[in-house]
Amino acid sequence: MNRALFTRCPVLFEDADLLIIHKPEGVLSHPNSGKQNPSCAFEGPYDLGERRFQTPRGPVWLIHRLDQDTSGVLLAAKNKKSAGACRGSFEKGEVKKNYIALVSRRPMPSHGKWRDALMERRAGGGLRVAIDPSGRPNAFLNYKLKEYFQKFNLSLLEIELLTGKTHQIRVQSACRGHPVAGDRVYGNFALNKELREALGLRRLFLHAWRLAFPHPLTGKPFAVEAPLPEELEDCLLKASSI
Protein backbone atom coordinates (compact mmCIF):
# COMPACT_ATOMS: atom_id res chain seq x y z
CA MET A 1 0.00 0.00 0.00
CA ASN A 2 1.28 3.45 -0.92
CA ARG A 3 0.70 5.26 2.34
CA ALA A 4 1.69 8.57 0.77
CA LEU A 5 -1.67 8.55 -1.01
CA PHE A 6 -3.40 8.80 2.38
CA THR A 7 -1.25 11.30 4.22
CA ARG A 8 1.79 13.53 3.98
CA CYS A 9 2.75 12.64 7.56
CA PRO A 10 4.69 9.73 9.09
CA VAL A 11 2.41 6.76 9.76
CA LEU A 12 2.63 5.41 13.31
CA PHE A 13 0.10 2.58 12.87
CA GLU A 14 -2.23 1.28 10.19
CA ASP A 15 -4.62 -1.66 9.90
CA ALA A 16 -7.96 -2.28 8.21
CA ASP A 17 -9.74 0.07 10.65
CA LEU A 18 -7.29 2.75 11.74
CA LEU A 19 -4.76 5.16 10.29
CA ILE A 20 -2.69 6.89 12.99
CA ILE A 21 -0.13 9.48 12.02
CA HIS A 22 2.51 11.70 13.58
CA LYS A 23 1.29 15.19 12.66
CA PRO A 24 4.16 17.68 12.44
CA GLU A 25 4.03 21.22 13.77
CA GLY A 26 2.67 23.65 11.19
CA VAL A 27 0.31 21.14 9.55
CA LEU A 28 -3.46 21.50 9.91
CA SER A 29 -5.54 18.57 11.13
CA HIS A 30 -8.17 19.61 8.59
CA PRO A 31 -8.76 22.62 6.29
CA ASN A 32 -10.14 25.84 7.71
CA SER A 33 -13.42 26.72 6.04
CA GLY A 34 -13.26 29.52 3.50
CA LYS A 35 -9.53 30.20 3.86
CA GLN A 36 -6.39 29.57 1.90
CA ASN A 37 -4.77 26.78 3.89
CA PRO A 38 -1.30 25.34 4.23
CA SER A 39 -0.86 21.58 4.06
CA CYS A 40 -3.31 19.30 5.87
CA ALA A 41 -2.69 15.99 7.60
CA PHE A 42 -4.55 13.97 4.97
CA GLU A 43 -4.92 14.44 1.24
CA GLY A 44 -8.07 15.12 -0.73
CA PRO A 45 -11.32 17.12 -0.27
CA TYR A 46 -12.65 17.42 3.27
CA ASP A 47 -16.31 17.16 4.33
CA LEU A 48 -16.59 19.33 7.45
CA GLY A 49 -19.97 17.89 8.51
CA GLU A 50 -18.84 14.28 8.26
CA ARG A 51 -15.26 15.13 9.32
CA ARG A 52 -14.09 12.97 6.42
CA PHE A 53 -11.30 13.26 3.87
CA GLN A 54 -11.82 11.74 0.45
CA THR A 55 -8.26 10.60 -0.23
CA PRO A 56 -7.05 9.08 -3.51
CA ARG A 57 -7.30 5.64 -1.87
CA GLY A 58 -10.71 6.12 -0.27
CA PRO A 59 -12.38 7.92 2.63
CA VAL A 60 -10.60 8.64 5.91
CA TRP A 61 -12.62 9.85 8.93
CA LEU A 62 -10.83 12.31 11.23
CA ILE A 63 -11.55 11.34 14.86
CA HIS A 64 -10.07 14.29 16.73
CA ARG A 65 -7.79 17.22 15.98
CA LEU A 66 -4.58 18.89 17.10
CA ASP A 67 -3.82 22.60 16.89
CA GLN A 68 -1.77 23.54 13.85
CA ASP A 69 1.23 24.42 16.04
CA THR A 70 1.02 21.17 18.06
CA SER A 71 2.71 17.97 16.91
CA GLY A 72 1.94 14.38 17.79
CA VAL A 73 -0.47 11.46 17.54
CA LEU A 74 -3.50 12.07 15.31
CA LEU A 75 -6.17 9.38 14.91
CA ALA A 76 -8.27 8.64 11.83
CA ALA A 77 -10.51 5.71 10.86
CA LYS A 78 -10.70 3.97 7.49
CA ASN A 79 -14.38 3.00 7.59
CA LYS A 80 -17.57 4.51 8.97
CA LYS A 81 -18.17 1.79 11.57
CA SER A 82 -14.73 2.22 13.11
CA ALA A 83 -15.14 6.00 13.02
CA GLY A 84 -18.37 5.70 15.00
CA ALA A 85 -16.74 3.40 17.56
CA CYS A 86 -13.73 5.70 18.01
CA ARG A 87 -15.86 8.82 18.32
CA GLY A 88 -18.02 6.98 20.84
CA SER A 89 -14.92 6.20 22.91
CA PHE A 90 -14.06 9.91 22.99
CA GLU A 91 -17.59 10.83 24.03
CA LYS A 92 -17.60 8.22 26.83
CA GLY A 93 -14.25 9.36 28.19
CA GLU A 94 -12.50 6.10 27.31
CA VAL A 95 -9.60 7.81 25.54
CA LYS A 96 -6.44 8.81 27.38
CA LYS A 97 -4.51 11.73 25.85
CA ASN A 98 -1.01 12.55 27.07
CA TYR A 99 1.04 15.60 26.11
CA ILE A 100 4.52 16.96 26.80
CA ALA A 101 4.79 20.73 27.32
CA LEU A 102 7.59 23.08 28.29
CA VAL A 103 6.20 25.95 30.35
CA SER A 104 7.76 28.94 32.00
CA ARG A 105 8.56 31.38 34.57
CA ARG A 106 6.87 30.84 37.92
CA PRO A 107 7.54 28.05 40.43
CA MET A 108 4.78 25.45 40.41
CA PRO A 109 3.82 22.35 42.41
CA SER A 110 5.20 19.01 41.19
CA HIS A 111 1.71 17.87 40.22
CA GLY A 112 -1.74 19.34 40.01
CA LYS A 113 -5.23 19.49 38.52
CA TRP A 114 -6.53 22.40 36.46
CA ARG A 115 -10.26 22.98 36.12
CA ASP A 116 -11.49 26.03 34.20
CA ALA A 117 -14.35 27.46 32.17
CA LEU A 118 -13.07 28.26 28.68
CA MET A 119 -14.90 30.50 26.25
CA GLU A 120 -14.15 31.20 22.59
CA ARG A 121 -14.34 34.56 20.87
CA ARG A 122 -13.36 36.05 17.54
CA ALA A 123 -10.77 38.83 17.64
CA GLY A 124 -8.80 40.41 14.84
CA GLY A 125 -10.02 37.86 12.33
CA GLY A 126 -8.84 34.91 14.41
CA LEU A 127 -10.06 32.66 17.20
CA ARG A 128 -9.03 33.42 20.76
CA VAL A 129 -9.87 31.44 23.88
CA ALA A 130 -10.09 32.87 27.38
CA ILE A 131 -11.11 31.77 30.85
CA ASP A 132 -14.51 32.85 32.14
CA PRO A 133 -14.10 33.32 35.91
CA SER A 134 -17.86 33.04 36.48
CA GLY A 135 -18.44 30.13 34.11
CA ARG A 136 -18.97 26.46 34.81
CA PRO A 137 -15.73 24.47 34.38
CA ASN A 138 -15.57 22.66 31.06
CA ALA A 139 -11.80 22.16 30.65
CA PHE A 140 -9.97 19.59 32.77
CA LEU A 141 -6.39 18.35 32.87
CA ASN A 142 -3.89 16.80 35.25
CA TYR A 143 -0.16 17.43 35.11
CA LYS A 144 3.05 16.24 36.72
CA LEU A 145 6.50 17.80 36.61
CA LYS A 146 9.07 15.75 34.70
CA GLU A 147 12.07 18.06 34.81
CA TYR A 148 13.02 21.58 35.87
CA PHE A 149 15.59 23.74 34.07
CA GLN A 150 16.78 26.26 36.62
CA LYS A 151 18.83 28.43 34.25
CA PHE A 152 15.72 29.41 32.28
CA ASN A 153 13.13 28.73 34.99
CA LEU A 154 11.39 26.24 32.70
CA SER A 155 9.30 23.24 33.71
CA LEU A 156 8.81 20.17 31.52
CA LEU A 157 5.33 18.80 32.17
CA GLU A 158 3.55 15.60 31.29
CA ILE A 159 -0.12 16.44 30.88
CA GLU A 160 -3.14 14.15 30.87
CA LEU A 161 -5.81 16.00 28.91
CA LEU A 162 -9.23 14.99 30.21
CA THR A 163 -11.21 17.22 27.84
CA GLY A 164 -10.38 18.51 24.38
CA LYS A 165 -11.17 22.20 24.14
CA THR A 166 -9.58 24.46 21.53
CA HIS A 167 -6.18 25.77 22.72
CA GLN A 168 -6.94 24.25 26.12
CA ILE A 169 -3.45 23.50 27.43
CA ARG A 170 -2.07 26.77 26.10
CA VAL A 171 -4.78 28.91 27.72
CA GLN A 172 -4.90 27.08 31.05
CA SER A 173 -1.11 27.30 31.34
CA ALA A 174 -0.88 30.95 30.34
CA CYS A 175 -3.60 32.13 32.73
CA ARG A 176 -1.60 30.67 35.64
CA GLY A 177 1.59 32.45 34.63
CA HIS A 178 3.08 29.38 32.94
CA PRO A 179 2.83 30.13 29.20
CA VAL A 180 3.93 27.31 26.91
CA ALA A 181 7.36 28.03 25.45
CA GLY A 182 7.18 29.23 21.87
CA ASP A 183 3.48 30.11 21.99
CA ARG A 184 2.99 33.03 19.59
CA VAL A 185 -0.63 33.68 20.64
CA TYR A 186 -0.90 33.26 24.42
CA GLY A 187 2.79 33.18 25.27
CA ASN A 188 5.50 35.38 26.74
CA PHE A 189 7.00 37.02 23.66
CA ALA A 190 10.18 38.21 25.37
CA LEU A 191 10.76 34.69 26.66
CA ASN A 192 10.10 33.23 23.21
CA LYS A 193 12.83 35.46 21.79
CA GLU A 194 15.21 34.48 24.59
CA LEU A 195 14.61 30.77 24.01
CA ARG A 196 14.94 31.16 20.25
CA GLU A 197 18.36 32.75 20.68
CA ALA A 198 19.63 30.52 23.51
CA LEU A 199 18.07 27.15 22.67
CA GLY A 200 17.06 27.44 19.03
CA LEU A 201 13.37 26.94 19.88
CA ARG A 202 11.36 28.22 16.92
CA ARG A 203 8.01 26.51 17.52
CA LEU A 204 5.42 25.80 20.19
CA PHE A 205 6.78 23.28 22.71
CA LEU A 206 3.62 21.17 22.90
CA HIS A 207 3.53 17.57 21.71
CA ALA A 208 0.78 14.92 21.89
CA TRP A 209 3.01 11.96 22.64
CA ARG A 210 0.53 9.19 23.52
CA LEU A 211 -3.06 8.21 22.71
CA ALA A 212 -4.73 5.19 24.35
CA PHE A 213 -8.24 3.92 23.51
CA PRO A 214 -10.21 0.71 22.90
CA HIS A 215 -9.53 -0.68 19.43
CA PRO A 216 -12.76 -0.21 17.43
CA LEU A 217 -12.81 -3.81 16.18
CA THR A 218 -11.74 -5.80 19.25
CA GLY A 219 -12.52 -3.39 22.10
CA LYS A 220 -9.14 -4.27 23.62
CA PRO A 221 -6.88 -1.53 25.07
CA PHE A 222 -4.69 -0.03 22.39
CA ALA A 223 -2.06 2.72 22.56
CA VAL A 224 0.17 4.57 20.12
CA GLU A 225 3.10 6.85 20.92
CA ALA A 226 4.89 9.52 18.89
CA PRO A 227 8.49 10.33 19.84
CA LEU A 228 9.35 13.88 20.75
CA PRO A 229 10.42 15.68 17.54
CA GLU A 230 14.13 16.20 17.07
CA GLU A 231 13.92 19.98 17.36
CA LEU A 232 12.27 19.68 20.78
CA GLU A 233 14.77 17.06 21.95
CA ASP A 234 17.60 19.37 20.89
CA CYS A 235 16.05 22.21 22.87
CA LEU A 236 15.96 20.10 26.04
CA LEU A 237 19.54 18.95 25.56
CA LYS A 238 20.71 22.55 25.25
CA ALA A 239 18.68 23.62 28.28
CA SER A 240 20.27 20.81 30.33
CA SER A 241 23.80 21.68 29.29
CA ILE A 242 23.70 25.42 29.96
CA distances from 238 to 68, 92, 152, 190 (A): 25, 41, 11, 19
- Give the distance, in angstroms, between the CA of residue 200 and the centroid of all CA atoms in the same chain: 21
Do the beta carbons of residue 225 and residue 158 sit within 8 Å? no
- Whole-number percent of the chain with pLDDT over 70: 94
3-class secondary-structure state, position 214: strand
**Half-sphere exposure at residue 50, Cβ-oriented, CA atoms within 13 angstroms:** 14
Told to judge if 67 belongs to the known catalytic residues of this protein, a careful annotator would answer yes
Q: Which of 99, 57, 74 is nearest to 18 (CA)?
A: 74
Task: Give tens-digit pLDDT for 87-123.
Answer: 999 999 999 999 999 999 778 899 999 999 999 987 7
pLDDT of amino acid 4? 46
Task: Give the C-alpha separation, 112 to 120, whole Å.
Answer: 24
CATH architecture designation of domain 1-94: 2-Layer Sandwich (3.30)
The correct answer on CATH 3.30.2350.10 for the domain covering 96-242 is yes
pLDDT of amino acid 107? 80
**Catalytic position from the list 67, 69, 116, 183:** 67
Do the beta carbons of residue 230 and residue 144 sit within 8 Å? no
- Whole-number percent of the chain with pLDDT over 90: 84
Averaged pLDDT of the chain: 92
Q: How many CB atoms lie within 10 A of CB 224?
A: 18
Task: Give the C-alpha separation, 41 to 39, whole Å.
Answer: 7
Enumerate the CATH 3.30.2350.10 domain ranges in the chain, comma separated.
1-94, 96-242
CA distances from 138 to 70, 164, 165 (A): 21, 9, 8
Task: Give tens-digit pLDDT for 15-55.
Answer: 999 999 999 999 999 988 655 566 789 988 999 999 999 99
Q: Which of 40, 118, 111 is nearest to 74 (CA)?
A: 40
In this prediction the pTM is: 0.93
